[in-house]
Amino acid sequence: MSVPTTSPLPPSAGIIETEGLGRAFGELWAVRGLTLNVRRGEVFGLVGPDGAGKSTIIRMLTGILPPTEGAATVAGFPIEGGEEQLKTRISYMSQRFGLYADLTVEENLSFYGDLYEVPRRERGPLEERLLGFSNLTPFRKRLASNLSGGMKQKLGLACALIHKPEILFLDEPTNGVDPASRRDFWRILYAMLKEGVTVFVSTAYLDEAERCSRVGLMHGGRMIQCDTPQRLKQGIPGRLVELEAGQPRAALEILSGRFDSGHVSLFGGKLHLYADSEEEVAQALAALGEAGIEVLGAKSIPPTLEDVFIQQVTHTPQEAVS
Amino acid sequence: MNRPALSWIRLAALVRKEFIHISRDPRSLAMAFLMPMILLILFGYAISMDIKTLDLAVYDQDKSAASRQYVEGYQASGYFRVAGSIEDYASARAQLDRGQVHLALVIPSHFARDLEQGRSPKVQVIADGTDANTATIALGYAEAVTNRFSTVRQHATIELAVDNRVRVWYNPDLKSRWFIIPGLIAVIMSVITALLTSLTVSREWESGTMEQLIATPVQPIELFLGKMAPYFVIGVADVLFSVAMGVWVFGVPLRGSFLFLLGVSSMFLVGGLSLGILISTVAKSQLVASQLAMILTFLPAFLLSGFLYSIDNMPRFLQVATHVVQSRYFVDVLKAIFLKASPPRFLAEDLAFLGLFAVVVFVAALRKFKKKLT
Amino acid sequence: MNRENAVEVKDLTRTFGSFVAVDRLTLEVGRGTVFGFLGPNGAGKSTTIRMLCGLLLPTSGEGRVAGLDVMTESEAIKRSIGYMSQKFSLYDDLTVEENIDFYAGLYSVPKDRRQERKAWVLEMAGLADKRRTLTRTLAGGWKQRLALGCAVQHEPPILFLDEPTSGVDPLSRRRFWDLIAQMARRGTTVFVTTHYMEEAEYCDELALIYRGKMIARGTPHEVKVLLPDDILEIRVERPFEALERLEASGLVREVALFGGALHAVVGEAGTGAPALARFLEEQGFVVEAIQPVPPSLEDVFVSLIELEDRRNPAGAEE
């Protein structure tokens, strides 16, 4: 079989296109029925808990895990048959970064540069830029094992960018990384976006998902929603109410008995209640009144992506999940 | 599918990276040399087929001049030491039971008289058969002493018709160390080579770097050659080190061509290192890899390579099985180079098999390795 | 010692060689409080929690946990607390029930209470129908609740949780915090470390630790007020270009992209918003909306850390 080495991608087509993509491990479907179209220059976020199938999707799209059913093209190459060509155009940063702990910052960077056959004379300035971006210049001679978690992750990103990929696949890149390093990390990503790189990122942090241009919510191997964060938030039925109560914990207990799991929670000393209708809010207020709990205030607040996610998950019929 | 040609840039990067790993981990480098050293010393001294001195209990019922002369023959042979005289069978049995002596010699009371009358007196030699190997050799020696005694006695009366002399070539003193050490080098090297490469690949599966590598354009052949090259250098150094120990520590003569030895070792190393790579395509953790490498190399090398146990004496099916044991050929060739100085053309079959093994295993590893997760 | 305080430490310090992991930490945690201990990796969170649990001896300073001295009564402390580490410390090859039984034995839960406590753990963790399941096969959320159950079987008055929710899905995380809230309501003191900033909102009180030192302290609301700056959300066409121009303008302390919008950190929203709008329009952008947004704890956290770095640059990145 002969696959052209230049990208056959027409400009209008999605840079990642999947059709009914699925992968089973034994009896268990890790991902099923994924149909997706990611456009060039997007930051696409795959959001969901552990075990929702995020890593499996990324591994299939990077050509290292054959799908059980369905098909996909990445940068114009099919993931089955064209995987070696697509690997030259993408970058993949796995959850464990894939750094060599006993190599220095510089050695890791030039190793990955060589793997992608980046010409030496182009590489110098790029290396300098990537190290500068990630604030790693002073540590270029340091062993990767002696870097902090955040620095390791930035180095992983620098290694992934050394060959100027068209698409960057990041599997939970900021897992276990502190907020300050996460900010630096996103700063580097924005710089790449300016140059037209497409970013496909998975995360379990819903606040991070807000930074994406489009988000796919994953649950039990299915993509249950896919849209911009704004539209996802606007799209959920019902409303989110913030209640200020005299005894917030007692109030939580009372309301927990009346609402679904995840619909009531204590947040920053206030209760967040996700109600389907006005009547439900009224019922909740009445219940608190009966229990002698003073309600100091109640107001509607915009939902977060986490609220959207929990609302979606608890309303997804079970058969669709298993 | 058409693949781009092998990239020298990538290969060089992989080799360089592997050398850095080795240089930053002096402990594993030390292991690569300590292991053959320790094994050579342990096995070189522990496995010896030579029997130095055998302890002998003597139950001399005759107590004549002739019987004493006969016993002196044992002492004089240098193989035996008379541990003591005993006066009954019970003591003989007791001393053999306790392992105080290897043999008991019983001389009948009419020993001298029978000799005088030209009859052959029957001497009894009782050996401890629990160590059959030693017992057989001891009985052989005892027979030799007896024959010698007989000839000397006969010599006084008649001329011997035949002068029976045995000459052993290549190893005139039948020093077992001379044939054990070259074989041992082969055994040790087959374990080390498979272990080195299988560990270095499985380590990458464990640390997650392999997942990263298979998502790059790297090709399996580049990956494998990159892994093998540094360990090939270490392997050659290991062979030289072991040969040097054999020659200077154990006094084994190296009679053949040194260059030939180096050449054969290289062929062997390629096969051994490829086997390690093949193991790592199945075993994705260091623990499993090292266990598999030990089972697949050490046992066959020890038992089926002809290093200790002659292949000719094995049952037919085992003899056939030894053909897939790579160390068998290396044992053969090393012994021949060390002791016989055989030229390559005499060893063509061994060399052909070594080469075949290397190619088949390397190709198998390439085919087995997929740039995929499972 | 104040009887109402479950944890009280003064000038608690721990050094490893020349490295000061925890530097003169002073704090009190009242009974029944959910206390959040926040900080980046390596800030000293785990070291502190280990000292308080009696697993690590402080270098200097003093501390009392449940009224017991951390210097001299570490074994007694271990009996009166529950501790759940980041790794959940469950045996993967034991069933759910076997893990519970094992920890019941470890904490010497009285024989006559065991059945009842086990039933409670299974119920709390939602594992009643999974009691004979191998722990290995449980998803993250179940494991986490099982670990929590195991750690509180002996009903300790104080519970220490070291990053209890890493790698757990949002729904499970909410359930987990609901459980914590219930325990606190029954009088259990919960001392928890996390680096999920949004989770800090579940706590009654927070302490922010950075490079071994406490740099902020208070309720989530009080801590948010500490942010000296305001945050503006700007909706604009061509956000990438706008971001570049704003970065170069010197008008903002920081600017970042959130989905399609920009978040800009300015000194004061009242004057900042019109100034930025004017600047962007001069540069030829059409500003669709510009409005202040409440800072998240993460915003506060990052700016406090940056402030500390400016104040004390010597310790940066080490």
Q: How far apart are CA B12 and CA A276, in angstroms?
A: 63
Burial (Cβ within 10 Å: 0-12, 13-18, ≥19) of residue C286? exposed
Interface list for chain B against chain A, based on CB atoms closer than 8 Å: 1-3, 7, 9-10, 12-13, 16-17, 20-21, 24-25, 207-209, 211-218, 371-373
Q: How far apart are CA B133 and CA A272, in angstroms?
A: 86
Three-class SS of residue B222?
Answer: helix
- pLDDT value at position C23? 92
Interface of A with C in 250-289 (CB under 8 A): 250, 252-253, 256, 261-262, 265-269
Dig out the tokens for A239 from the structure: 């409303």
pLDDT band at C85 (very low <50, low <70, confident <90, very high): confident
The CA-atom distances, in angstroms, between B115 and each of A171, A257, B64, B66, B145 are: 96, 114, 11, 8, 16
- Tell me the per-residue pLDDT of B323-370, one tens digit each, with 9 for 90 and over: 889 999 999 899 889 888 888 888 888 999 999 999 999 999 999 988
The amino acid present at B163, given as its one-letter code, is: D
Q: How far apart are CA B246 and CA B188, in angstroms?
A: 13
The CA-atom distances, in angstroms, between C55 and each of C6, C18, C27, C40, C48 are: 18, 21, 19, 21, 10
Interface contact C185, partner A, CB < 8 A: yes
> Quick check: do C and B touch, 3+ CB pairs under 8 A?
no
When computed from its CA atoms, the radius of gyration of chain B, rounded to whole angstroms, is 28
- pLDDT value at position B144? 78
CA distance B205 to chain A (A): 10
CB pairs under 8 A between A and B: 85
Q: How far apart are CA A73 and CA A89, in angstroms?
A: 12
- What mean pLDDT is predicted for residues C286-296? 86
Q: Which chains touch B (3 or more CB pairs under 8 A)?
A: A
Distant-in-sequence, close-in-space partners of A28: CB < 8 Å, separation ≥ 6: none
Distant-in-sequence, close-in-space partners of B26: CB < 8 Å, separation ≥ 6: none
Q: How far apart are CA C207 and CA C200, in angstroms?
A: 10
Residue from B19, B20, B213, B216 whose CB has the most chain A CBs within 10 Å, to mutate: B216
- pLDDT value at position A88? 93
- pLDDT value at position C163? 83
Domain ranges for chain A, please list them. 16-232, 237-302
- Bigger pLDDT: A197 or A182? A197
Q: How far apart are CA A228 and CA A211, in angstroms?
A: 10
Three-class SS of residue A45?
Answer: strand
- pLDDT value at position C65? 94
Interchain CB distance below 8 Å, C202 and A206: no
Closest by CA position to A166, among listed A131, A192, A139, A134 = A192
Dig out the tokens for B37 from the structure: 């050293």
- pLDDT value at position A263? 81
pLDDT at C214 over 70: yes
- Bigger pLDDT: B130 or A252? A252
Chain B residues whose CB is inside 8 A of the A84 CB are 1, 3, 217, 371
pLDDT at A252 over 50: yes
Question: Under CATH, which architecture does the A16-232 domain have?
Answer: 3-Layer(aba) Sandwich (3.40)
- pLDDT value at position B4? 60
Q: Which chains touch A (3 or more CB pairs under 8 A)?
A: B, C
pLDDT at C314 over 80: no
pLDDT at B64 over 70: yes
Chain A residues whose CB is inside 8 A of the B213 CB are 98, 115
Backbone φ and ψ of A189, nearest 5°: -60, -40
pLDDT band at C254 (very low <50, low <70, confident <90, very high): confident
Closest by CA position to A292, among listed A249, A256, A246, A258 = A246
Name the H helices within chain C: 45-52, 74-80, 96-106, 111-125, 140-152, 170-185, 197-200, 220-225, 239-249, 269-282, 297-311
- Bigger pLDDT: B84 or A143? A143
Chain C residues whose CB is inside 8 A of the A267 CB are 201-202
The amino acid present at C282, given as its one-letter code, is: E
Of A171-185, B100-114, B120-134, B143-157, the range with the lowest mean pLDDT is B143-157
Q: A120-133 vs A179-194: helix axis angle to the nearest 10?
A: 140
Interface of C with A in 211-230 (CB under 8 A): 219-221
Q: How far apart are CA A271 and CA A273, in angstroms?
A: 6
The DSSP annotation for A201-265 comes to EEES-HHHHTTSSEEEEEETTEEEEEE-HHHHHHH-SSEEEEEEESSHHHHHHHHHHHS-TTSEE
Chain A residues whose CB is inside 8 A of the B215 CB are 62-64, 87, 90, 92, 94
Q: C209 and C255 in contact (C-beta within 8 Å)?
A: no
- Across chain A, what does the average pLDDT equal? 85
- Tell me the per-residue pLDDT of A109-137, one tens digit each, with 9 for 90 and over: 999 999 999 998 888 888 998 898 888 89
- pLDDT value at position C260? 72
Closest by CA position to B269, among listed B335, B199, B191 = B191
- pLDDT value at position B173? 54
Q: How far apart are CA C310 and CA B249, in angstroms?
A: 66
Q: B26-46 vs B176-207: helix axis angle to the nearest 10?
A: 150
- pLDDT value at position A10? 57
- Tell me the per-residue pLDDT of C144-181, one tens digit each, with 9 for 90 and over: 889 888 888 888 999 999 888 766 777 788 888 888 88
pLDDT band at C202 (very low <50, low <70, confident <90, very high): confident
Dig out the tokens for C235 from the structure: 């909706």
A237-302 sits in which CATH class? alpha beta
pLDDT at B164 over 80: no
Interchain CB distance below 8 Å, A206 and C204: no
Chain A residues whose CB is inside 8 A of the B209 CB are 96, 98-100
Q: What is the ipTM of this complex?
A: 0.80
- Tell me the per-residue pLDDT of A263-283, one tens digit each, with 9 for 90 and over: 888 877 788 888 888 888 888
Interchain CB distance below 8 Å, C169 and A50: yes
- Tell me the per-residue pLDDT of B242-290, one tens digit each, with 9 for 90 and over: 999 999 988 888 888 999 999 999 999 999 999 999 999 999 899 999 9
Residue from B1, B212, B213, B214 whose CB has the most chain A CBs within 10 Å, to mutate: B212
- What mean pLDDT is predicted for residues B157-169? 45
CATH number 3.40.1710.10 given to B54-155: yes
Distant-in-sequence, close-in-space partners of B230: CB < 8 Å, separation ≥ 6: B15, B18, B19, B22
Handedness of CA B131, B136, B141, B145 (dihedral sign): positive
Interface of A with C in 102-121 (CB under 8 A): none
Interface contact C276, partner A, CB < 8 A: no
Closest by CA position to B19, among listed B10, B29, B9, B27 = B29
Q: Which domains does chain C have, with CATH numbers?
A: 5-224 (3.40.50.300), 228-294 (3.30.70.260)
Q: B321 and B238 in contact (C-beta within 8 Å)?
A: no
